[in-house]
Homo-oligomer: A and B are copies of this chain.
Amino acid sequence: MLYFEDYEVGKKSSFGRYEVTREEVIDFARKYDPQPFHLDDEAAAKTHFGRLSASGWHTCAMTMAMLVENMQKQSSAGLGSPGLEQLQWKRPVYPGDTLRVESELIEKRRSQSRPEMGLTKARVQVFNQDDEVVMQSVNIGLIALRDPDAPETY
């Protein structure tokens, strides 16, 4: 099990492989983001997207699937997240793209309000198959301490 104490600032990870399908793009957009450029080729062709592209929130969801898979491979003691510091959709994500993630831990500190957990801050970049960044964000995570009674402040 990977606890807060085990996280090292500066550590980089590269993981994930998510094949974006047309069916899933349209299914997600119908439910959550039914703007024409996420639903229909012809409508998308008239916009700066050029062709049918995934909802940015769908890209977030696909990225989370890769992050969780990686956390579970490492048996990370993750306890959810209080949020993000920023999130940028840099390029459209199209059906047929294959996404992957690179992340770097940029900060960690023990929670003051919940000393049994620590906060981690990671720079997350999502790339397509052409190694172009499609999304980047700074994600905050909550991780359980191995020793919740430790006096040390990280």
Contacts and interface: CB of A to CB of B under 8 A. Distances in A.
A61 B31 contact: yes
B80 A56 contact: yes
Interface stretch (A6-14, A82-90, A97-105, A124-132): A82-90
Given A79-B48, A86-B86, A87-B83, A68 B33 contact: yes
A29 B88 CA distance: 23
B84 A34 contact: no
Interface string A71-84: 11000001111111
Contacts of A37: 80
Interface residues of A, number: 34
Q: Interface centre among A33, A61, A88, A89, by most B CB within 10 Å?
A: A61
A33 B84 contact: no
Given A35-B80, A79-B48, A84-B87, A60 B62 contact: no
Interface of A: 28, 31-35, 37, 47-49, 55-57, 60-62, 64-65, 68, 71-72, 78-89, 114
21 contacts: A32-B61, A32-B64, A33-B64, A34-B65, A34-B72, A35-B68, A35-B80, A48-B80, A49-B80, A55-B64, A56-B80, A56-B81, A57-B57, A57-B61, A57-B64, A80-B89, A82-B88, A83-B86, A83-B88, A84-B84, A84-B86
